[in-house]
Amino acid sequence: MIDQETIQRIMDAAHIEEVVGEFVSLKKRGANHIGCCPFHNEKTPSFYVSPAKGIYKCFGCGEAGDVVKFLMKHEHYTYPEALRWLADKYHIEIKEEELTDEEKQRQTERDGLFHVSEFAQKYFADLLFSNEMGRAVGLSYFHQRGMSDEIIKRFGLGYCLDEWSNFTDHARKNGYSDEVLEKTGLTIFKDTDESGTAPKHRVYDRFRGRVMFPIYSISGRVLGFSGRILTSDKKAAKYVNSPDSDIYNKSRILYGLFQARAAIAKANKCYLVEGNVDVVSMHQSGVENTVASCGTSLTTEQIRLIKRYTPNVTVLYDGDSAGIKAALRAVDLLFAEGMHVRLVLFPDGEDPDSYAQKYGSAQLQDYLANHEDNFILFKIRVLLDEVKGDPIRKAELEHETARSIALVSDMLERNEYIRQCSHLLHVSEDALTNAVAKAIATKSSADKTAATETPAPEKAEAEPQPQTPQPTASYPLPEVERHLAKLLLNYGNEKLYQTYKDEDGSERELVYTVAQVIIGEMLSEQLSFVHPLCQRILEQCTLMIDLTGSVDTSRFMNSNDEQLRSFAISLMIDTYTLCEESWKKKDIYTPKIEDNLLQDVSDSLGTFKSMRLAQMIAERREQLRTANTEQQQQLLAEIKQYTDISRILANKLGQVIAPRR
Outline where 408-478 has alpha helix (H). Answer: 411-425, 429-453
pLDDT tens by residue, 42-74: 778 889 999 888 899 988 888 888 999 998 888
Residue 215's SS3 state is: strand
Q: What is the mean pLDDT of residues 410-429?
A: 87
Q: Strand pairing partners for 26?
A: none
Query: Confidence class of residue 625 from pLDDT cuts 50, 70 and 90?
Result: confident
> What CA–CA distance (Å, rounded) separates 215 from 259?
11
Of the residues 218, 248, 278, which one is the last residue of a structural domain? 248
pLDDT tens by residue, 506-563: 777 778 889 988 988 888 777 888 888 999 999 899 888 887 888 888 888 878 788 8
Give the range of the structural domain holding residue 410, as residue numbers without chain letter.
Answer: 261-453
* 254-255/290-293 β-pairing: antiparallel
The pLDDT score that the predictor gives to residue 466 is 34
- State whether 68 and 154 are in the same domain: no
The answer to the question of residue 323 being in a domain is yes
Tell me, what amino acid is at 30? G
The pLDDT score that the predictor gives to residue 269 is 92
The DSSP call for residue 136 is I
The pLDDT score that the predictor gives to residue 469 is 34
Nearest to 431 by CA among 444, 413, 419, 445: 419
The residue among 612 and 58 whose pLDDT is bigger is 58
> What CA–CA distance (Å, rounded) separates 99 from 83?
17
The pLDDT score that the predictor gives to residue 403 is 86
The pLDDT score that the predictor gives to residue 292 is 92
**What backbone torsions phi and psi does residue 529 show, to the nearest 5 degrees?**
-80, 150
- pLDDT over 70 (residue 321): no
Element spanning 597, H or E: helix 597-624
The answer to the question of residue 96 being in a domain is no
Q: What is the mean pLDDT of residues 248-253?
A: 89
- Range with the poorest average pLDDT among 361-365, 407-411, 466-470, 594-598: 466-470
Query: Confidence class of residue 447 from pLDDT cuts 50, 70 and 90?
Result: low
Sign of CA dihedral 22, 28, 29, 30: positive
- pLDDT over 70 (residue 111): yes
Give the total number of structural domains in the chain: 5
- pLDDT over 60 (residue 661): no
Ranges of beta strands (E only) in 318-410 are 340-345, 373-374
- pLDDT over 50 (residue 471): no
- State whether 30 and 69 are in the same domain: yes
> What CA–CA distance (Å, rounded) separates 398 from 432?
8
Q: Return the CATH number at 177.
A: 3.90.980.10
Query: Confidence class of residue 215 from pLDDT cuts 50, 70 and 90?
Result: very high
- State whether 139 and 278 are in the same domain: no
- State whether 212 and 273 are in the same domain: no
- pLDDT over 80 (residue 647): no
Let me know if 352 is exposed, middle or buried by CB neighbors in 10 A (0-12, 13-18, 19+): buried
- pLDDT over 90 (residue 221): no
Which of the given ranges, 73-87, 341-355, 530-544, has the highest pLDDT on average?
A: 530-544
- State whether 174 and 286 are in the same domain: no
Residue 397's SS3 state is: helix
Residue 91's SS3 state is: coil
- pLDDT over 80 (residue 354): yes
> Which residues, 6 or more positions from 200, have their beta carbon under 8 angstroms from its beta carbon?
178, 189, 190, 191, 192
- pLDDT over 80 (residue 370): yes
* 254-255/239-241 β-pairing: unpaired
Asked if residues 164 and 149 have their Cβ atoms less than 8 Å apart, the reply is no
Mean pLDDT of the chain: 82
- State whether 429 and 313 are in the same domain: yes
The answer to the question of residue 565 being in a domain is no
Nearest-Å Rg of the Cα atoms of the chain is: 29
Q: Return the CATH number at 289.
A: 3.40.1360.10
- State whether 379 and 299 are in the same domain: yes
- State whether 635 and 589 are in the same domain: yes
Q: Return the CATH number at 69.
A: 3.90.580.10
* 312-317/270-273 β-pairing: parallel
Element spanning 382, H or E: helix 375-387
Tell me, what amino acid is at 72? M
> What CA–CA distance (Å, rounded) separates 343 from 188?
40
The answer to the question of residue 325 being in a domain is yes
The pLDDT score that the predictor gives to residue 40 is 81
The answer to the question of residue 487 being in a domain is yes
Q: What is the mean pLDDT of residues 569-595?
A: 68
- pLDDT over 60 (residue 450): no
- pLDDT over 80 (residue 241): yes
Q: Strand pairing partners for 373?
A: 343
The answer to the question of residue 620 being in a domain is yes
- pLDDT over 60 (residue 161): yes
> What CA–CA distance (Å, rounded) separates 343 from 311?
14
- State whether 270 and 328 are in the same domain: yes
The answer to the question of residue 164 being in a domain is yes
The pLDDT score that the predictor gives to residue 550 is 87
Q: Strand pairing partners for 216?
A: 222
pLDDT tens by residue, 588-606: 655 666 667 888 888 888 8
- pLDDT over 80 (residue 414): yes
Of the residues 528, 559, 590, which one is the last residue of a structural domain? 559
- pLDDT over 70 (residue 199): no
- State whether 292 and 221 are in the same domain: no
pTM over 0.75: no
> What CA–CA distance (Å, rounded) separates 636 from 628?
12
The answer to the question of residue 591 being in a domain is yes
Number of H helices, E strands in the chain: 28, 19
- pLDDT over 90 (residue 183): yes
Query: Confidence class of residue 660 from pLDDT cuts 50, 70 and 90?
Result: very low
- State whether 51 and 77 are in the same domain: yes
Which of the given ranges, 175-184, 264-273, 614-623, 633-642, has the highest pLDDT on average?
A: 175-184
- pLDDT over 70 (residue 98): no
CA-angle at 133, arms to 127 and 135, nearest 5°: 65
- State whether 239 and 272 are in the same domain: no
